[in-house]
Amino acid sequence: MGRIGNIKDRKAKQDSKRAKIYTKLARLITVAAREGGTDPEYNASLKSAIDKAKAGNMPNDNIDRAIKKAAGDAGGDQYEKIIYEGYGPSGVAVIVEALTDNRNRTAGEVRHAFDKNGGNLGTTGCVSFMFDRKGQIIIEKNDSINEETLMLAALDAGAEDFTAEEDAYEIITMPEDFPTVKDNLLAEGYQFIQADIMYIPQTETELQEADIKKMEKLIDMLEDNDDVQEVHHNWKEA
């Protein structure tokens, strides 16, 4: 199946956690607006956060409220971005991106998730060298999309790689080229399952059945944490 996994499973999981995802996206938007201003034309981080929210089907009213919260709550909770690195079952490499107002609480909860599911939290740099920081766009396959047309559009816009998976297309870019590629494809009417700058694993690790269940629980525990924005790993999902 490749690293993007099963699209139907991905969408079902997103649907089941939609309220929690919206909460995290709202925090991301508020922090970006607070740090760089409320106009996405002049705040690249805010524009990226809004685009991510729209790709996740977050209603415009929610997006507007998150921006207004930043404008009217300058003295509110102060969040910081923290990256945790560790190992899941059988040494799977895991990177956790968090946005927290209490680093002690978040570190304890992230460590607990690793410990409970056959892994351990490591030190900064212990697994990040196994990943490349890349822009990733995932588009679900359907009859209205011509593969060659999409591939040429992506490559012409500056994409680094294009892969056709079983039920989706994956487009990889350099981080600095990601906004241009994404905006060009949006302008041509393509809709994304995911569009973000990610940690892409250089190699993937397969797991036995017992460890698969532990890995799934580890990911679920981390993603259920309000402070955790993204979870990246090099587990080769079936």
Which pLDDT belongs to residue 55?
81
Q: How far apart are the first and last CA of the chain?
A: 6
Q: What is the pLDDT of residue 10?
A: 65
Token code pair at residue 87: 């190992």
Q: Do domains 80-129+202-233 and 131-201 have the same CATH topology?
A: yes
Rounded CA separation 233/200 (Å): 8
Query: How much is the CA Rg of the chain, to the nearest whole Å?
Result: 18
What's the confidence (pLDDT) of residue 225?
A: 95
Q: Where are the domains of the chain?
A: 7-72, 80-129+202-233, 131-201
Task: Give the residues across from 198 on adjacent strands.
Answer: 134
CATH superfamily of 7-72: Integrase, N-terminal zinc-binding domain (1.10.10.200)
d(CA 133, CA 199): 5
Show pLDDT as tens, one digit a residue, over the chain (238 residues): 456 666 666 666 666 677 888 999 999 999 999 888 999 999 989 999 998 898 888 999 999 999 988 877 655 668 889 999 999 999 999 999 999 999 999 999 999 999 999 999 999 999 999 999 999 999 999 999 999 999 999 999 999 999 998 899 999 999 999 999 999 999 999 998 888 899 999 999 999 999 999 999 999 999 999 999 999 999 998 6
According to CATH, the superfamily of the domain at 131-201 is: YebC, transcriptional regulation domain (3.30.70.980)
pLDDT recorded at residue 166: 87
The domain made up of 80-129+202-233 has a fold known as: Alpha-Beta Plaits (3.30.70)
* Whole-number Cα distances in Å, 37 to 25, 80, 96: 17, 17, 26
Sheet of strand 161-164, all strands in order from the earlier edge strand to the far edge: 161-164, 168-173, 131-140, 194-201
Residues 6+ apart with CB under 8 A from 63: 26, 29, 50, 53, 54
pTM: 0.86
Report the alpha-carbon distance of residue 53 to residue 67 in Å, rounded.
Answer: 12
Given this model, what pLDDT does residue 1 score? Answer: 45
* pLDDT value of position 76: 60
Amino acid, single-letter form, for residue 216: E
Is 7:140 a contact under the CB 8 Å cutoff?
yes
Q: What SS3 state is found at 168? A: strand
84-to-155, 230, 237 alpha-carbon distances in Å: 33, 11, 22
**Structural tokens at position 237:** 């999902």
